[in-house]
């Protein structure tokens, strides 16, 4: 890009593509995955995304050091092209009767279940926005961490996502997605409290690992619950609206954390972000119970 303005413009266009990919990937899983394994399927998507998020910055840094700053952008374009070609080979979706079962009689665009899930996603996104705004400044300014130490925690989040997330998703399918999603908020909230509370470094690393697994457990169960709550005919519109409102939550959380940081205390901003994540899970208490067992205890397919 010849100027910063052009680079920002290209990044905005890429953002549209990333948003479309996020919604379409979850919709595809909703249509092709066995209903009894929806949480597990979504947890695999989350784990794969985390693996890319861990490897991407490392590879980008190596390319920038070995060549020029343009090299990482070229790599992004190349990997995006590969993903595009791979998507062309995906089998066509077939919406089976089991996916049409559930609240098919609901005609409102947003009913009680969708509203509860929307509020829950908004709160967790707000917590994420607050956390991403306050974590690094708190770790460097208050705790004296280096940039490398700050990055280690991000890596541990991803490792928890990759190693524990799919197994918890499978557990959610068997024992109840709503139950797992409610419990998942506690390890996520614990990390911020542990950071501000001055936990020993080893325990802090462990809470980061559990928080990463908790995030995957929440979102894999949340997407499965949303899939079941929405008839297939309206699923695309609802997924898009809920995802967009979630992004608004991220912005709101970031702005709120900045305001608390400036007017009160940076540590309080982290605690409030953690409370928002916990509130996101507890909101699901108001979600109606699943109409049928999440999984089939008779016919389970093991990994």
Contact 7, 141 (CB under 8 A): no
* Stretch 77-83: mean pLDDT: 86
Which of 137, 158, 117, 124 shows the shortest CA–CA distance to 250? Answer: 124
Helices 147-175 and 112-137: angle between axes, nearest 10 degrees? 160
Evaluate the CA torsion angle 29, 32, 38, 40 in order and state its sign: negative
Q: DSSP H helical segments within 138-176, as ranges? A: 147-175
Q: What is the pLDDT of residues 16-67, one digit of tens each?
A: 777 777 778 888 888 888 888 899 998 898 888 877 776 777 687 788 888 8
Is the distance from CB of 246 to CB of 121 less than 8 angstroms? Answer: yes
Asked whether the beta carbons of 165 and 286 are under 8 A apart, the reply is: no
Average pLDDT score over residue span 136-153: 88
Segment holding 82, helix H or strand E: helix 70-88
Which of 75, 22, 67 has the alpha carbon at shortest distance from 49? Answer: 22
| Closest listed residue to residue 37, CA positions, set 212, 284, 221, 179 | 221
Residue 297 reports pLDDT greater than 50: no
SS3 assignment, position 287: coil
> Mean of the pLDDT values across residues 89-103?
58
pLDDT score of 95 more than 70 = no
Higher pLDDT, 302 or 108: 108
> pLDDT tier at 102 (50, 70, 90 boundaries)?
very low
Tell me, what's the pLDDT at 31? Answer: 83
- CATH code for 4-286? 1.20.1250.20
Integer CA distances (angstroms), 99 to 14, 46, 229, in order: 32, 21, 10
DSSP 254: H
For the chain, the average pLDDT equals 83
Domain boundaries, the chain: 4-286
State the Rg of the chain over Cα: 20
Q: 73, exposed or middle or buried, with CB in 10 Å at 0-12, 13-18, 19+?
A: middle
């709160």: which residue's tokens?
Answer: 123
- Whether 297 and 171 have beta carbons less than 8 Å apart is answered as no
């Amino acid at each position: 890009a010849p100027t910063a303005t052009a680079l920002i413009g290209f990044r905005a266009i890429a953002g549209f593509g990333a948003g479309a990919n996020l919604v379409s990937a979850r919709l595809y899983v909703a249509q092709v995955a066995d209903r009894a394994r929806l949480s597990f399927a979504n947890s695999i998507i989350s784990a794969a995304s985390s693996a890319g998020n861990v490897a991407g910055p490392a590879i980008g840094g190596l390319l920038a050091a070995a060549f020029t700053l343009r090299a990482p952008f070229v790599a992004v374009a190349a990997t995006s092209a590969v993903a595009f070609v791979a998507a062309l080979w995906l089998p066509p979706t077939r919406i089976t009767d089991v996916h049409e079962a559930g609240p098919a009689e609901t005609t409102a665009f947003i009913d009680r279940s969708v509203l509860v899930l929307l509020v829950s996603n908004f709160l967790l996104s707000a917590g994420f926005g607050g956390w991403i705004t306050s974590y690094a400044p708190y770790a460097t300014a208050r705790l004296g961490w280096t940039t490398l130490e700050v990055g280690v925690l991000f890596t541990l989040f991803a490792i928890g996502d990759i190693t524990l997330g799919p197994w918890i998703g499978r557990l959610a399918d068997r024992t109840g997605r709503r139950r797992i999603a409610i419990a998942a908020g506690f390890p996520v909230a614990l990390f911020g409290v542990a950071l501000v509370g001055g936990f020993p470094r080893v325990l802090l690393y462990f809470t980061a690992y559990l928080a990463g697994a908790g995030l995957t457990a929440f979102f894999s169960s949340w997407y499965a619950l949303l899939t079941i709550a929405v008839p297939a005919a309206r699923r695309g519109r609802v997924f898009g609206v809920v995802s967009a409102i979630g992004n608004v939550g991220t912005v709101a959380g970031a702005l709120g954390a900045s305001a608390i940081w400036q007017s009160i205390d940076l540590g309080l901003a982290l605690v409030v972000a953690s409370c928002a994540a916990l509130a996101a899970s507890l909101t699901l208490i108001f979600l109606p119970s699943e109409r049928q067992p999440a999984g089939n205890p008779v016919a389970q397919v093991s990994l």
